[in-house]
Amino acid sequence: MSRLLRRVETIVPRRSADYGGKARSLAALARAGFPVPAAYALPASIGKRFLKESLPKDEFLLALDPASDLHTDRLADVAARVRAARLPDPLLASFHSAFASLRREGAQSVAVRSSSTQEDQDDASAAGLHATFLNLETEESVAEAIKACWASLFSVPVLGYLRKRKITPEAAVGVVLQAMVPADVAGVMFTINPLTGDAGEIVINASYGLGSSVVEGRVSPDTLRVDKATGTLRDRVIGEKRERTVLSPGGGIREEQVPADQVREPALDPAVTAELVALGHRIEAHFGGPRDIEWAVSGGTIYILQARPITAVSRPSTRRWAKRRLDRPDRSRIVWSNVNVGEALPGVATPLTWSVLSGFSDLGFRRAFGALGCTVPKDAELVGQFRGRIYLNLTEIMTILAQVPGLRPRVLLTLGGGGEVERLEEEIQPPRRTAFMLRLPLTISRFISEHLNAQDRVETFETFFQSERDRILNLDLRVLSPSSLARTLTDVERLLDETGSTMLGVYGNLLASIAFLHSIFRVLLKDDADHTLRDLLTGLSDLESTAPGISLWHIAEMAKAEPDLRAILEAGRSTDLKIADLPDGPTRRAMERFLRAYGSRGTREAELSEPRWSEDPTLLFAALQVHLRSPAGAERPIDLERNMRRIREAAETRVRGTLPTPAWIAVRRLLTQVQRYLRLRERLRSDVTRVLGMFRSVALEASRRIDSLEPSAGHGAAFFLTLDELHDFLRGQGVLAARVRQRRRQYERDRLLPDPPDTFVGSPPASPAAPGNLERLRGLGASAGQATGLARIVRSPADAGSFQPGEVLVANCADVGWSPLFLAASAVVTDLGGPLSHAAIVLREYGVPAVVNVKVGTRVIRTGDRLEVDGDRGQVHINR
């Protein structure tokens, strides 16, 4: 056998630079005894010599000259010349000998894979850039594939990637000749969640046939998330695997239909899954870090085809994490819920949104719990993701809060919303409170200090916030250098941290004050406690979150005095109208002022990829049209304010009648404190939204730059990167297109999946149970009063155009971005939410009866159903 080719197990990894990243990885796997198909590797220097001898000097140097223009046509000509050249006889003989050896060992065919010296590195994988050829059955096809691997160097994506990473490239592509595995099932396995950076789980994608269909995104695979410490499933989504890629007789691959009875069946059985997970543990331990592993199963045997580093994720130490988590509670008993967080971020989150908000939420919870005097374990898992949706770990959160006397799960879930109350009440027992009581004097002292200084601290912060916000907004992001744009992104992150810290400090005080007040009312008022507390938090006026809806009502009143403008509004479709369509006058100028003040708001405004009102005013115009259709004599905002103030005053009278004067004075002071904290929280929540708008601006500019460098990444590519990956891009590291395309496919796949239950134990079911033909729904009363009206299901701003005054708005959630429609609705019903949510506060101020957390409203209610909404009892009756 010629020494041109070597068996991969004879290659010493630390001396394998000339063989390229793929061969180096296979050598390490094979030498460690992992089940790697038999393979040979050719050094990259042999390919470089072939190119040098086969091409004119100027064409050979094309790949080495960083200043050369990457013209697609010229590169295609060079690549064609490489493929047409004849391999030297010694090289042909070497490959023919290796091919024959693999055939004698049982391989029916082989795969030829490129092995670049610049791929599968610890800081950048360059996965998918070079060529791979599958199921080659003849020596001639192997020879052609070898030349095609070398020719793949002469392409815009490869050379652009090398230059972007500021590598002075050498035309160096090795080749791997590997026995072909006729896979029954194949896919990829990540030993750390590549999106969330969670080192505590292994993520597996699996489908029938060859793994190329999974890697290239041509099939919807099964997705398994396995807890690394226990081996239990955190979640499993069965994909619709309608096609599979198989070996084609005579060479190559083809697609075939999967039998109908197998499409929705798991591709992997539990035993193979457990063996695959065990291999993942061993491979990660061997390489000393997380790995992206390609695998295949044939005849019940698992083969490892590749293991490359996972790049550009935030990853904690896997070993330390696993050791810490061994004594954690059984994951199968954890209660997860998105009842409250789902209002802020309903539906599937893009990777950028997840990376921003998961870190923000985790840090915020820790600070809020610390303000209450609670000890939070360093490894506490407070936030999780299931099928792209964000969930809170209620078991962990309630266990932490149980350190506070009186804060039982039932109290907290009554205020915030959530299910599985009985389970949590039973399983979460009050811990020993010695440490809490020892810290209590300091906690009380800090609480009093923060209480006394809260208003001044918020005002000092907002002075800083306004200055910093104005500075960032005045930057022209288009002209910033990549490093300057990266610094701006860091500044926005810092501003979010400061804003969130201030808001969550206020929220911690609010939670403590409300819990204390609620405990008093439970003793004094018993079953009337929840109703009374809700009424006492009504009629506050001057809330930041109520201002947009009231402002639009006043703008609609202006429009009535401008006949030409009113005609445009009434005749146009809300999805088509723009501010520029309006004639100059008071109404148009008022709308321009409105957008300057509130343009950073929007539906699903916590999702960074969603446009804001300033970009898409569809909902605003729909709200104006609804107000213009309202009958004469409809209740005005000032009338609503008076009515809600009367409700609050009546509740105060009831409470005062049950208490002696000294006790009432104390309760009144506590109530005033709660009301002040509510106002402050709503102000700061608006500031958080403005910062999220700045994140969006930076992401849009980064997306424009990605599009110019890698057009195949598509529009809005930055939203499919994590924060770390976005910073890496701005530092000139990493190739993005393949990763972004994969993330888009996963995002769209998650969007098509039905929402998991708002609360579940352990892991979500494969599919939600059918709700049945219900006539009465129960939820939480978020705003008092009763109303009857026709239902209108609203899922997007485009749906708002058909909304009619007096209809009942029914939505998955009612985030504040929907508030322009609240004043025109007779009532609001939502699947998610709690009585203390931002939208619930706005609805109470508007005096609109509301029932939240009905769970299945959008699944059982149809547009046109007549609904009876009882915001006092938390009930909705459906009349069809």
Lowest mean pLDDT of 302-316, 692-706, 861-875, name the range: 302-316
Q: Considering Cα of 510, then 512, then 515, then 518, what sign does the dihedral take?
A: negative
Structure confidence at residue 279 (pLDDT): 96
Structure confidence at residue 443 (pLDDT): 60
pLDDT tens string 105-163 = 989 999 999 887 665 444 444 444 567 899 999 989 999 999 888 888 777 666 665 55
Euclidean distance between CA atoms 179 and 523, whole angstroms: 75
Structure confidence at residue 639 (pLDDT): 74
Structure confidence at residue 303 (pLDDT): 96
Euclidean distance between CA atoms 360 and 226, whole angstroms: 25
Q: Can you tell me the mean pLDDT for 631-656?
A: 78
Q: Output the six-digit token pair for 617.
A: 């005013």
Q: Can you tell me the mean pLDDT for 194-210?
A: 88
Euclidean distance between CA atoms 866 and 880, whole angstroms: 6
Pair 667, 653: CB distance under 8 Å: no
Structure confidence at residue 123 (pLDDT): 41
Confidence band, pLDDT 50/70/90 cuts, at residue 349: very high
User: Is the pLDDT assigned to residue 67 strictly greater than 50?
Assistant: no
> DSSP secondary-structure letter at 315?
-
Cα dihedral 485, 488, 494, 500 in deg (nearest 10): -100
Give the neighbor-by-neighbor strand order of the sheet with 201-208.
233-237, 222-227, 201-208, 185-190, 291-298, 301-309
Confidence band, pLDDT 50/70/90 cuts, at residue 14: confident
> DSSP secondary-structure letter at 178?
E
Q: Which amino acid is at 75?
A: L
Pair 277, 202: CB distance under 8 Å: yes
Side-chain half-sphere CA neighbours of 284 within 13 A: 25
Spacing of C-alpha 176 from chain mean position: 37
DSSP assignments along 93-118, one per residue? HHHHHHHHHHHHTT-SSEEEEEEETT
Greater confidence, 638 or 292?
292
pTM, two decimal places:
0.79
Question: How many contiguous H segments (helices) and E segments (strands) does the chain have?
Answer: 29, 25
Spacing of C-alpha 414 from chain mean position: 27
Confidence band, pLDDT 50/70/90 cuts, at residue 826: very high
User: Is the pLDDT assigned to residue 322 strictly greater than 50?
Assistant: no
Greater confidence, 815 or 628?
628
Confidence band, pLDDT 50/70/90 cuts, at residue 449: low
Name the phi and psi angles at 151, rounded to 5.
-65, -25
Mean pLDDT value across the chain: 83
Q: Can you tell me the mean pLDDT for 519-547?
A: 76
DSSP assignments along 251-295, one per residue? SSEEEEEPPGGGTTS-SS-HHHHHHHHHHHHHHHHHHTS-EEEEE
pLDDT tens string 354-406 = 989 887 877 777 877 776 677 888 888 888 889 989 888 888 888 888 887 76
Q: For residue 732, how many other CB atoms are within 10 A of its CB?
A: 12
Lowest mean pLDDT of 423-437, 539-553, 635-649, 780-794, name the range: 423-437
Euclidean distance between CA atoms 556 and 587, whole angstroms: 8
Q: Name the range with the highest mean pLDDT among 45-54, 223-232, 674-683.
A: 223-232
Side-chain half-sphere CA neighbours of 156 within 13 A: 13
Helix residue spans in 609-736 (DSSP H): 618-629, 637-658, 661-709, 723-730
- Give the residue among 631, 709, 687, 686 at the shortest CA–CA distance from 816: 686
pLDDT tens string 221-249 = 889 999 998 888 999 888 888 899 999 99
Q: For residue 854, how many other CB atoms are within 10 A of its CB?
A: 26
Q: Output the six-digit token pair for 99.
A: 């091919």
The structure tokens 């220097």 sit at 45
Confidence band, pLDDT 50/70/90 cuts, at residue 862: very high
Pair 880, 865: CB distance under 8 Å: yes
Pair 800, 620: CB distance under 8 Å: no
Cα(first)–Cα(last) distance of the chain, in Å?
Answer: 81
Lowest mean pLDDT of 182-196, 437-451, 653-667, 752-766, name the range: 437-451
Structure confidence at residue 294 (pLDDT): 94
Instruction: Tell me if residue 476 falls in helix, strand or coil.
Output: coil
Euclidean distance between CA atoms 553 and 825, whole angstroms: 13
Q: Output the six-digit token pair for 322.
A: 């696993």
Q: Output the six-digit token pair for 148.
A: 């095609």
Q: Output the six-digit token pair for 290.
A: 């997380």
Q: Can you tell me the mean pLDDT for 492-503?
A: 88
Greater confidence, 53 or 876?
876
Euclidean distance between CA atoms 688 and 28, whole angstroms: 48
- Spell out the long-range contacts of 273-279 with Cβ–Cβ below 8 A and sequence spacing 24 or more: 273/204, 273/224, 273/226, 274/231, 275/302, 276/189, 276/204, 276/302, 277/202, 277/204, 277/226, 277/231, 279/34, 279/35, 279/304
pLDDT tens string 573-597 = 888 999 998 999 999 999 999 999 9
- The percentage of the chain sitting over the pLDDT mark of 90, rounded to a whole number, equals 34
User: Is the pLDDT assigned to residue 444 strictly greater than 80?
Assistant: no
Helix residue spans in 526-573 (DSSP H): 529-536, 547-560, 563-571
H/E element, 397 = helix 394-401
Pair 410, 421: CB distance under 8 Å: yes
